[in-house]
Structure 1
Amino acid sequence: MLAGLLFATADASDRHDTLAATLPIGGVTLIEFQARLLIAAGASQMVVVVSRLTPELLGAVNRMGRRGVAVDTVRGPAEAIAKLHPLARVIWLADGLVTTGGVVEAMRDREGDTLLVSPEAEGLERIGPGVMWAGVATIDPQRIADVAKLPSDYDFASSLLRVVAQRGAAQLALPEAAVRDGHGIQRDLQALVTKGRAALIAALGKRTNWVDRFLIAPLAKIALPPLVARGVPALMLAATGIVAGIGGLAALVLGWPAPGLAVVVAAVALFALADVLAWLRDERRLIATVRWAIPVTVGAATLLLGRKTGLDAGTATAPLLALGAVVAGALAERAAGSAQRQLWWATPAAYPLILLPAAIAGQPLIGLAAVAGYAVATLAHAIERLRSRIGT
């Protein structure tokens, strides 16, 4: 069992009577952002150490509980150890920490007590000569029980760090890439905006398909900061994507393949941006809707292109290729959902990027053949990965 230990005790440095944990980061509070990273890593319980329960913190805790995990608020180590399962592995994130899913997952995979450490200039609190704690630790619940035996006026977080370090915890160096991706302690609103933006872009850039990593992530790096700053709803982006998708499909019906596919590509980009904003703001129903909208729009566009190409050529080759591409693509998505995805594997968003250049060049049949072959190759590789995993 994996549990998360979060702290909401420190005040923001630039806002009176506001907890740093409740500062906003792209539409949610910082502590909700931390909880989301832990839940994505497999945590099924959150223990939140509080000094006072502000309305903002109460709202954040309630929203965290809606994600299907147990959330308990405590005021000290004795209450914390009473809430934690004795066999749980605990990932502790420091108060005010912004980090990435990659860092949390790396700490999740550590067997024993482990402290994430960094050079002195970049850390939170010194734990040795020239070594500072970087805000993440994997600990045994017994360490919290050890702190509970200390005098009650000792600071919980500082005492826990001392106990873990003195018990010989392993040290894992903070990757330089994590610092570039926004890892750090931030209790200032303006600095948090910058760190949070970097962490968000990094989360998108770490997705395991080449379209998101090399095309959508650079686009998001440009588009998301003004969208987040202006509070643009993810629903608005999704609705615009639906309108664009319908327009693109209408253009394909009217026999304009290149313009139609160009608009479909724009619709897919809007859906992808809406997906990221919805993920950040925890709009799970919208996420599900958007993730269905992309394959539906792309599948319809592929079939319409095949129909138009087949009518122009007077053969059934193009429609059959389009149908085969849609079927193979759908099966590939099903198979890929149960296997470890490879960077090169096809995704629905990749297909119009292949079809558009072919349509512009006046060779839609070649584009359909390439898409069908790409989908089949992905399906075959996903099946082989699944077979190797189950040993058949």
Structure 2
Amino acid sequence: MRLAFSCAARRGTAEGSPCAVWAFLIAGLCALALSGCGSAGMEIADSAAGPRPLSMFVVSTRKGESGALSEAGNDGEMRDSLQMIGVPPGHQVGQLERPSIGAPDPSRHFALVKRRNLDETAFLTELASHLSGRIGSNRDILLYVHGFNTGYDEARFRLAQIVQDGRFGGVPVLFTWPSTNNLLDYGAAKESATVSRDALAKVIRLLTETPDVGRVHILAHSMGAWLTMEALRQDAIAGSPKLNEKLGDVMLAAPDIDLNVFRQQLARLDPSHVFVLVAANDRALSLSRTLAGDRPRLGALDPKNEADRAALEALGVRVYDLTREADIFIGHGAYADAPDAVRTIGAQITAPRPQDANVQAVLGDRPVDDRIIAAPLAPPAAPAAPTVPAASPSATPATVVGAPTP
């Protein structure tokens, strides 16, 4: 049975014709090229007289922060740092304000304020210090793993934007890997993600074992979702002692994962931890499906399609349908671009536990919304009722049972 979100570019041209295939690939490449850029959210977040400083820990397997070493240099080694990012005053919820050319203006753009390189011992010491004395969900960690076609700057600024817009009061940690900015190097990016798998598994293990940590939430996007599930599976097989106790929500945004592969990855984990954010109109994942031999991608399953809905229900995970919030042209970055979507993520991970009922885990003075639980998947459309056969050729036409009377 062909799924509902099959190649849109084939409509209006002959099925499988060269023109149809090239039209689809070109449209998909455009989608991937733009999917790293935030669409403009027009709702204004809290503003201040100047940039608001936001600290984050960064673990990188890139050999550098720019150029070829940033995109392709990957030896699997971890490079740790503590960085401060400036969130511009007047920042718009859902938008990643960056200059089109030139250096960022801190009064208008996200910008790096300062950074300090750390070895592993210093990283763990600093992390424990940041968590010490915190209470409630402020003791939680949010680990962000970006996807394909994402540079170093975009990755750290995107995490800062998510923390700001989602009003997360815990400690943010970025895991960044060599994600090439060349669309033709999709395969090379997958190999870079594979090389980074051991490093991410180690990071997750270290975070869950950090003293005073509450829960370790993970937000992973696109190919980064595949990398995350591989690392979690690896930790689960190794018997990581704190994984089940400390793992919080694992949110997979537009996951670029083959459905059968995901089933194998999920078999090692408690599916109740996992949230999948899907969008049936995700054109970047449509291209990925084509490149993968027309194998369905998890992030593009359509809960309104009967077969897709059955597949999602069988997984036992929670599902957010972001199709309505997704950008009409791309849809691949809706988890962070759409104000309602990024706030939903923030509300999910800052939800107070019963023992923290009197604790307010917010940035600023506004309380976080109540925990937002994914709504049950809508039931499939009822099949059309059979028609009543006509009594004879001369009889009046048959009517559909249950149809409204004219």
Q: TM-score range by the shorter chain?
A: under 0.3
Largest Rg, 1 or 2: 1
Q: TM-score scaled by structure 1?
A: 0.28
TM-score scaled by structure 2?
A: 0.27
More helix by share: 1
Higher relative contact order (CA 8 A, sep 6+): 2
